[in-house]
Amino acid sequence: MRYLPHTEEDIAEMLQMTGASSLDDLFSSIPEACRRKTDLRLPGPLTEWELNDVMAALAQSMAVAPQYKVFLGAGSYEHHIPASVSYLLGRSEFSTSYTPYQPEISQGTLQALFEYQTFAAFLLGMDVANASLYDGASALAEALLMAARVSRLKKVAVSGLIHPLYRRVIRTYLEPAEFEIIELPFLADGRTDLSKLEGVEGLGAVAIQSPNFFGCIEDLSAVGNLTRDTQTLFITSFTEPLAYGLYKSPGSQGADISCGEGQSFGIPQSYGGPTLGMLACLKRYVRSMPGRLVGMTEDMDGKRGFVLTLATREQHIRREKATSNICTNSSLCAVTAAMYLASLGGTGIRELARLNYDKSEYLKKELRKAGFKIPFAAATFNEFVVEFPPGVETVYQSLIDRKVVAGLPLAPYYPRLPNHYLLCVTETKTKKDIDALVSQLKGWFVKRG
């Protein structure tokens, strides 16, 4: 249950209704000897999440099992969710809404999705966004199919630093359709090697993730320059869209299509789903875009209204003309993202992105000071790779036993990177949490050394 404090006006109105002149008068029936004479010893003003931490600490003192401290991102991120989002999302108008086929009775749902599209297009620097897809992986696969429809070419280049699971989904989508997939290797600084694009002919699309799976920021403008005035469409992917509150948007760097995962925007991790597939593009490609698109129009009286428009699904048009077999979207997740972005606003998104960056950089600096190697020199956002000494597997398991998850081991995905771990820090981690992690890691390796 959320605590909503009363304003002075609220208190005055309630006192008037009860006939009491003051709060003391209201409690006059309680003997004076039973009343507290001094103020409660309460801490100073706290944010909603700081107060949650205080309550969690009190709960732990009462023998409740402690929560894990998870320094893990890799496509799913722990962020605070404002109470406004949780409250609004519980309203039946949103949580029970169905496909808005009839605009006459679906204006609320349609407007909410239109607002989401507006936020998504603005954040990604694109002209238009659809009303969402299933998740980041399917959004990227659909973007590559979209690029093939536009370019009429079935050869695509995909960065090896795109999320490994996304690349699996790409192959599931494209290989049965006989696409040629070129995988781009990575450089020593943790970014994609673009030199492999030189001399490649008949390329329909190039897909780059930024921040990439190592957390590094790619040089998107360089890719934009390579694909400009060619048939090749430039697709940017992402798993952490909050990064664009701090870094330049994909559209401003020459991207034709931008797509990825929107889970960071107010959607709980929920053991892996449901999540939100975001997809936006330049206006000239809108008729090749998969999924739903909500448009704004005016009725005969000049009042604005919202409708599904440019429907390219096989349910609406001839199957051979359909752009995709995507038959629905993550509407509730899209509305959640709209609520989250509206709650924070432009200034809030920038400040939150900066906070994530600063906390990540603090952990990176402290690990360096402790003697651990940061192998990739490229700039990062809220996650990065650290190389630990041999024997880290034992230490990693020992930390898990202590309710600390110290990142994701990269060896299963990149065999040439043994002892490399991907660590993530968001606003949910305090300086105390970060210092404790560094101290524990340093203590284990010093003890073993």
Count CB-CB contacts under 10 A for residue 391. Answer: 13
Bond from prior residue into 211 cis (ω within 30 degrees of 0): yes
Residue 380 Cα to chain centre, angstroms: 15
Query: CB within 8 A of 138, min separation 6: which ones?
Result: 169, 277, 326
Residue 264 in this model has a pLDDT that exceeds 60? yes
Q: How is residue 348 written in tokens?
A: 């809030």
Query: CB within 8 A of 340, min separation 6: which ones?
Result: 81, 82, 85, 265, 266, 267
Long-range contacts of 393-398 (CB under 8 A, 24+ apart): 395/441, 395/444, 395/445, 395/448, 396/421, 398/444
Helix/strand number for the chain, H first, E second: 12, 14
Helical (H) or strand (E) element with 285: none
pLDDT (tens digit, 9 = 90+) per residue, 313-358?
Answer: 655 666 666 777 776 778 999 999 999 999 999 999 999 999 999 9
Rounded Cα distance between 388 and 124, Å, is 35
The residue-averaged pLDDT of 68-97 equals 91
Extract the runs of DSSP E, i.e. beta strands, from 61-217.
Answer: 69-70, 128-129, 155-159, 180-184, 205-209
> Could you give the residue ranges of the DSSP H alpha helices within 254-330?
none
SS3 100: coil
Q: What's the farthest any 2 CA atoms get from each other in the chain?
A: 90
Name the pLDDT band for 448 (thresholds 50, 70, 90).
Answer: low
Give residue 72's identity as a one-letter amino acid code: L
Give pLDDT, residue 177. 92
- Domains of the chain and any CATH numbers: 69-80+345-448 (3.90.1150.10), 83-341 (3.40.640.10)
Q: What is the percentage of the chain residues whose pLDDT exceeds 90?
A: 70
Residue 237 near residue 259 (C-beta atoms within 8 A)? yes
The residue-averaged pLDDT of 262-288 equals 94
Query: CB within 8 A of 238, min separation 6: which ones?
Result: 136, 209, 210, 211, 244, 250, 258, 259, 260, 261
pLDDT (tens digit, 9 = 90+) per residue, 148-206?
Answer: 999 999 999 999 999 999 999 999 999 999 999 999 999 999 999 999 998 899 999 99
Q: What is the percentage of the chain residues whose pLDDT exceeds 70?
A: 94
Residue 269 near residue 78 (C-beta atoms within 8 A)? yes
Bridge-partner residues for 295, per DSSP?
307
Q: How is residue 129 written in tokens?
A: 């966004």
Bridge-partner residues for 281, per DSSP?
128, 257
Residue 142 near residue 130 (C-beta atoms within 8 A)? no
The residue whose two tokens read 């005035």 is: 229
Of 346, 410, 369, whose CA–CA distance to 216 is shortest? 410
Of 262, 296, 260, whose CA–CA distance to 281 is shortest? 260
The residue with greater pLDDT, 272 or 152, is 152
Rounded Cα distance between 110 and 148, Å, is 30
Bond from prior residue into 274 cis (ω within 30 degrees of 0): yes
Give pLDDT, residue 315. 58
Q: How is residue 395 written in tokens?
A: 């230490």
Rounded Cα distance between 55 and 35, Å, is 26
Of 384, 367, 59, 351, whose CA–CA distance to 216 is shortest? 384
SS3 119: helix
Q: What is the CA radius of gyration of the chain?
A: 26
Of 266, 240, 261, whose CA–CA distance to 81 is shortest? 266
Q: What does the buried/exposed string (b/e) look like for 127-150 if buried means 16 or more CB atoms within 10 Å of the residue's CB?
A: ebbbbbbbbbbbbbbbbbbbbbeb
Q: How is residue 374 written in tokens?
A: 């940061």
The residue whose two tokens read 């048009």 is: 317
Give pLDDT, residue 66. 61
pLDDT (tens digit, 9 = 90+) per residue, 392-446?
Answer: 888 899 999 989 999 999 999 999 999 999 999 999 999 999 999 999 998 877 6
Long-range contacts of 358-361 (CB under 8 A, 24+ apart): 359/425, 359/426, 359/427, 359/429, 359/434, 360/384, 360/424, 360/425
Give pLDDT, residue 111. 94
pLDDT (tens digit, 9 = 90+) per residue, 95-151?
Answer: 877 778 788 888 999 999 999 999 999 999 999 999 999 999 999 999 999 999 999
Give pLDDT, residue 327. 66
Q: How is residue 246 annotated by DSSP?
A: T
pLDDT (tens digit, 9 = 90+) per residue, 39-62?
Answer: 888 888 888 888 888 888 887 776
Residue 1 in this model has a pLDDT that exceeds 50? no
